[in-house]
Structure 1
């Protein structure tokens, strides 16, 4: 008897609950409540909400940084105070960022005194992913990493939480210098200082785009096909997103199936239609999802790592008419 394909099709389930403009389904329980929806952070510039283990935490909005006096100060080239510290000072601004080579580690750096920032420069290459790790080795430092584009515009950040170590990845969209800032996490109210090691892992090229304009196109296979098309991908860093697109036809049913063989993960999924790429009509993390199209349009699948770590995945899309 021939072996069963690891993604062998299952019967299309009944579709009864309206999920938004475009599609129907009832295969998963409702998503957990997000404490940041609606956003409770409305005081001054501390309007960025972070879901901290189910509790809302208010931090400085993008484009500002927290100073020791508690104020959120706009980022600029002027944020470069002269002060004592390690041998690399002054390095509190983009203009004085120290070069950081790939596959390298820097030691002997400190966040000192309270409120210190250390900036580093990476010579980025377009569509290349860089992953940094900051680990405190002494003192009360709880490190935070921020990334800035070639114009100094803030891109992303991540704070250490339960351990003095944080890893953050980002994708360079331009072949130009990008900047990284190390600081004490503003989510820790204590005046943290201390030594740390900063490591930049070997760079990798992103396998799939992470926006709808960079989406990897696919063609759904016919339901019941003996040789359906399968797509694979890798989350190269913990914050990676891979986006795929495919056409859907009015009244046709669709099934997205993930393969868990060989250690592959089931990604977190958000599905959008071409007419609204901001609000997903479906979010899930299941071995499969189903929906029926109520218009002829394009669907985008945004996949994210379920555990915030590197992982591989494989899936296919089936169409039933």
Structure 2
């Protein structure tokens, strides 16, 4: 889908109007023509393999309570390439064991698979591409707006949440996003009753951490990424409602359902991917390794 739109509407508040999309002459293979950072060395998304990550004991864990505060204003919009919720007066995370400095939530949006396809998440985990991925975009709270932090080193912090459509019943918290008011590109609605973003989180908040970029133009390499291990679950019916729920304009003026709005996997290059785990998870893994080592030792003795 090749769509013309203002980046200010779509992602981060930049002022330039540039045509880009997810296929054809304006697709990801051509983004670097207009946005040079898209060809740089710390790009996102990436494929995360648990066995190739390193435990970082200095990393703290996100707490559900960090997300409890309800934003003052929440406006949901079909920006032509995604479903996005812009936030005013949202929560701030002030834990320097979790993030490098203080960050405020500015918006969240989704990436998902088109009908008839399965994988739509941007990141992969252990070879799996999930149906969808939510990105909660935060910016350093010393700035007045998200756009001011885009070109600053570690100016942004994005929390990635996988979405798995295997629940037997509808996820009523996710249902808040599936509203008819945003069917057409440009349509938006301000929630009468806002809600805490905590309701969109899984129970387990263990995560993977790496330094990367925005996954859409301008692909600025200013993002501290935290990708949660555990997905949230929605029903197959909700999956279909999302796939059939939003329309965007194609470059020829026609409309089509929005979907497959994800960037392909980028090279990790020399980046280290670390992980934050609970003590119980780390201990269980250590116990498993020790058990295997002991078993191998005694097995070797018995063979003599």
Where is the helix percentage greater, Structure 1 or Structure 2? 2
Per the TM superposition, whether the score is higher than 0.5 is: no
Where is the strand percentage greater, Structure 1 or Structure 2? 1
Query: What band does the TM-score fall into relative to the shorter chain?
Result: under 0.3
Structure having greater relative contact order (Cα 8 Å, sep ≥ 6): 2
Higher Rg of the two aligned structures = 1
